[in-house]
Chains A and B, each alone.
Chain A
Amino acid sequence: MRQVFPVVVVVAVIVALWYLACVPMNIHTALTDAERAGVAVTPEGAAVRRDMSAIGLALANPGQWGDTLAQDKPRLPAPHQVVAELWDTTVEKKVTSKRSLIYHGWVTLSATLLGFAIGTVAGIVLAVGIVHSRAMDMSVMPWAIASQTIPILAIAPMIIVVLNSVGVQGLVPKAIISAYLSFFPVVVGMVKGLRSPDAMQFDLLRTYSASRGETFWKLRLPASVPYLFASLKVGIAASLVGAIVGELPTGAVRGLGARLLTGSYYGQTIQIWSALFATAILAAILVALIAGMERATLRRMGLGR
């Protein structure tokens, strides 16, 4: 419980800074609106104010600070506006509604989980191959690294288009983009994990005349489990990013990526920010789930203390 206080302080400071930032960020619009409504502001005239610094304007018009936190389409929404939008679109709306973040979240989550599963299996298979075959080590690893240097935003539309042309659409293309991002940490972590036992451990198995298969199942694989979980935590977060990026070029119909995109089309900043937070919360839940699985698995293996 002793950790609660510092955590609360840090969160409070961040929220306070956020509120503070809202005032200059939204002051131009607030003053324009106030002037239209007949309220005296300094200086008068939007054209005059356009080139003036936001902080100076904010200091000159303390009476309009309240308005900066309550706009429909603010440049920077205030925290309570985002929370209200999140509450409205998760709890108040029916799950089947097109405006429900739960509905969009599930669309993204299903692609994330499928992509994560594909990426994890592919990553493990590649790592096993790399560890056991020198040819694969030399050939696959550079490609795996190169694959991650290509911007996902550039390759995602191509994957969508290519798969669409062969009749595959919906969940699978998004899952593939998500797998494309998540296989890499798994490959790197698993290769390291499968190679982690020291020479003595391998010598010991040689004295038993153990086969490669036995060495794999009895030594390499169990030794790699802690490395695998570290990779899975990175991988699941990458999967979520992949699924969202995969939603952007599809015309943005469903999913958290779609909420981000429609929000930006119509200047719905509050919607964008709430979609961003929904994404972050979802990622935190997924990583926490993996961490829980990690703890349970390591404890069962006798590795947790």
Chain B
Amino acid sequence: MTEVTETAGTAAPVIAARGLDLTFQTNDGPVHALKGVDLDIGKGDFVSFIGPSGCGKTTFLRCIAALETPTGGTLTVNGMTPDEARRARAYGYVFQAAGLYPWRTIAGNIKLPLEIMGFSRAEREERVKKVLELVDLEGFGGKFPWQLSGGMQQRASIARALSFDADILLMDEPFGALDEIVRDHLNEELLKLWSRTGKTIGFVTHSIPEAVYLSTRIVVMSPRPGRITDVIESPLPRERPLDIRDTPEFLEIAHRVREGLRAGHAYD
């Protein structure tokens, strides 16, 4: 499926990709990580990217973040090139591992981007306080990362990505390394955070329930070459309790995602 998916809103898309290609030159010959990717992400969307390993979902996220440079097509973030958007602090990025500096306290870790971006000392303190509340870690600012559980560390890394008030949050399998119970809890928290802040979220995941539960749109991708095979608009309401996962609507979307993943595999 290669046609351009229009956003629900009338405003210009926050992220727009047209015919995006990315080919890595490796010793075993070129690898087509992305081929002909067209996608618009509107303001306030929660878009999940799902697909098997090597389908380019992480690569696409890294292109948006200007961590990879596409070899063809166009990609704009807030109407700018990804590089310009990064310098304009358009996004916060959450990696699979929390990646907190062990030599900094939780507050110190959250201050890291603020120091680099030149916020004043007073403003840094204020923002740390604000984002710690946002991720439910009040009172943990003075702790070192090793004193926190894995789930709390990942929350701290989300707080770090939120601290400089970027409109876009890019998350690369942020809960992939956590156990199911913690992951459910953090999914719920993330939805709350999203509805409170109105951020645009790009979310890479391996998990079908996670993708369906969180997203307003689910982008199904398939490998060799990495491409989009289906884009599913979720009819689920924005308010989502955890037990929505047992409703027929939820199961139907999950089924469609699974079909999409299977179709992608049948391709090669």
Contact = CB atoms under 8 A, between A and B. Distances in A.
Interface of A is mostly: helix
Interface residues of A, number: 20
B116 A200 contact: no
**How many B residues are at the interface, by size bracket?**
20 to 34
Interface string A150-172: 00000000000000000000000
A222 B101 contact: yes
A302 B102 contact: yes
Interface stretch (A14-22, A185-193, A208-216): A208-216
Interface string B229-263: 00000000000000000000000000000000000
Nearest to A215: B116
Given A218-B112, A302-B144, A208 B101 contact: no
Nearest to A298: B103
| Most B CB within 10 A of own CB, among A205, A206, A207 | A207
A73 B116 CA distance: 68
B115 A218 contact: yes
A200 B86 CA distance: 17
A296 to B, nearest CB: 14
A222 B100 CA distance: 13
B103 A301 contact: yes
Contacts of A223: 103
A206 to B, nearest CB: 6
Interface in A270-305: 301-303, 305
A302 B112 CA distance: 16
B146 A305 contact: yes
B67 interface: yes
A219 B86 CA distance: 20
Nearest to B160: A204
Nearest to A225: B103
B103 A302 contact: yes
B87 A209 contact: yes
A72 interface: no
Contacts of A210: 116
Interface string A207-240: 1111000100011001101000000000000000
A200 B146 contact: no
A203 B116 contact: no
Contact of A204 (B93, B105, B115, B117): B93
Nearest to B145: A302
B99 A204 contact: yes
Interface of B: 65-67, 86-87, 89, 91-93, 95-97, 99, 101-105, 112-113, 115-117, 144, 146
22 contacts: A200-B95, A200-B97, A203-B93, A204-B93, A204-B99, A207-B65, A207-B67, A207-B86, A207-B91, A207-B93, A208-B113, A208-B117, A209-B86, A209-B87, A209-B89, A210-B116, A219-B101, A222-B101, A222-B103, A225-B103, A301-B103, A305-B146
